[in-house]
Structure 1
Amino acid sequence: MTSFARARRNMIDNQLRPNQVLDPRVLEALDAVPREMFLPKAMRGVAYSDEDLALPDGRHLIEPLTFGRMLQAADIQPSDVVLVVGCDTGYGAAVVAQLAATVIALQADDTAAARVQAALDEQKVGTAVVAVEAEPVKGCPAQAPFDAILVLGSLGAVPPALGDQLSEMGRLAAVIRRGRVGKLSLWTKVDGTLGRRELAEAAIPALPEAHTEPGFAF
């Protein structure tokens, strides 16, 4: 077992399991994807630390615990089509691809999309594609509806456009942040109406333009 494989196993055993991230499929997906390969070489030694990682170009990779909780709450099934918003490195999409049939990861411009797609291609993630949307926080209407949506950055409120893009019984996992306090929440669409359930405290970096649009946080 390589040192990175041991670090990945320690992440699961020491960060996720003690905090009730116990879904076997989620843990297997996280164990299958080399998190370090989605980071610059100089940062790979801290790939499995229990904190958000700020990258040199202003991007970020959110902490494993919040990401694991999101995956578990979203209950992604093998037939699902999933939208990942804020997937700045490609790692989130690569893990979700272990669980879903199709993954669409959004980027705001062609340069960022090419970078993320290259990372996914290098790891042979064939069921994840990168799409360009000028405002990723508003989703990807052309590919909707989605069975699940994961937002990998905190929001002041969730734009209604994201809720509109959920299928019936679709799930949306996001962190709603007020000041320094954030709540990881799960919305589920039932009979066309979204209901929210708060899951845990969380504080991850803000998604770009997260606080500039009105939305729902009920």
Structure 2
Amino acid sequence: MSLNFAEARAAMVEQQIRPWEVLDPRVLDTLATVPREDFVPAAQRQLAYADLPLPLAQGETMMKPVVEGRVLQALGLSPGDEVLEIGTGSGYLTACLARLAREVVSIDRRSDFIDAARLTLDHHGASNVRLECVDAFAFQPGRLFDAIAVTAAVAEVPEIFSQWLKPEGRLFVIRGQSPVQEALRITRRGEHLHSESLFETDVPYLHGAEPVPQFTL
């Protein structure tokens, strides 16, 4: 029996997302609208709304829906905001960001992810998204952003990411050592950065931001 995706999407919002303190009405409406099943790998389509991370190619994963909801809420997006997403992945979070903001620039170092995400985003009419195949540490945006979402973990927060924030800009990033990592919202206030701990989670590392191996005698 095939899954009723509309019912599964509504159940995800009410039984997973909302109980995990995601209460922003615009975020909830976005999660209730964007068809997550169109962004997951075909083999995982029936699990699109399950409360678990889903595998992508090359060892990457999609975040659990509850984590995606917390990312979107933490960024506090307004309709006029310009957003940078580091790690396009499946393109699902990209589509959600595109509904909440004026413009989304999303980068990923894997061209197959970019190509697949572009097809799906175009199919759903996400005309305010620009995708670019580039490593995060080689990226030169030449501009600042109201919000930045890093969709993979970092051992330490790269300073360059916060340098791309506008005044009062927000950076969502997951930092630390697996299996216990800390989700942070970092806000630029003048010359200073204000960091707020949000929740604990465990996601794969961004390429180039993994922990340095520790050798002991």
Q: Could you tell me which residue of structure 1 aligns to residue 96 of structure 2?
A: 95
Q: In structure 1, the residue corresponding to 2:59 is in which secondary structure?
A: coil
After superposition, the C-alpha distances for 1:91-147 in whole angstroms (9 at most, x for unaligned) are 1110000100000110215444222211211222111110122x22x3743242000
Q: Which amino acid aligns with 1:50?
A: D
Q: In structure 2, the residue corresponding to 1:7 is in which secondary structure?
A: helix
Q: Could you tell me which residue of structure 2 aligns to residue 41 of structure 1?
A: 42
Q: Could you tell me which residue of structure 2 aligns to residue 27 of structure 1?
A: 28
The structure that has the greater radius of gyration is: 2
Q: Which runs of 4+ in 1 moved over 4 A?
A: none
- Kindly indicate whether residue 204 of structure 2 is the aligned counterpart of residue 205 of structure 1: yes
Unaligned runs of 5+ in 1: 214-218
TM-score of the pair, normalised by structure 2:
0.90
TM-score of the pair, normalised by structure 1:
0.90
Once superposed, what is the RMSD of the aligned Cα atoms? 1.7
8 Å contact kept, 2:56–2:90: no
After superposition, the C-alpha distances for 1:187-207 in whole angstroms (9 at most, x for unaligned) are 000012211000111112222
Q: Could you tell me which residue of structure 1 aligns to residue 215 of structure 2?
A: none
Q: How does 1:47-58 map to 2 (within 5 A)?
A: 47-58=48-59
Q: Could you tell me which residue of structure 2 aligns to residue 194 of structure 1?
A: 193
How many equivalent pairs are there? 210
8 Å contact kept, 2:88–2:113: no
Q: Identity across aligned pairs (percent)? A: 33
Q: Could you tell me which residue of structure 2 aligns to residue 144 of structure 1?
A: 143
- Describe the shift of the 1:167–1:92 C-alpha distance in structure 2 as closer, same or farther (beyond 3 A): same
Alpha-carbon deviation of 1:164? 0.4
Q: In structure 1, the residue corresponding to 2:99 is in which secondary structure?
A: coil
Q: In structure 2, the residue corresponding to 1:71 is in which secondary structure?
A: helix
- Kindly indicate whether residue 86 of structure 2 is the aligned counterpart of residue 85 of structure 1: yes
- Kindly indicate whether residue 160 of structure 2 is the aligned counterpart of residue 161 of structure 1: yes
Q: Could you tell me which residue of structure 2 aligns to residue 216 of structure 1?
A: none
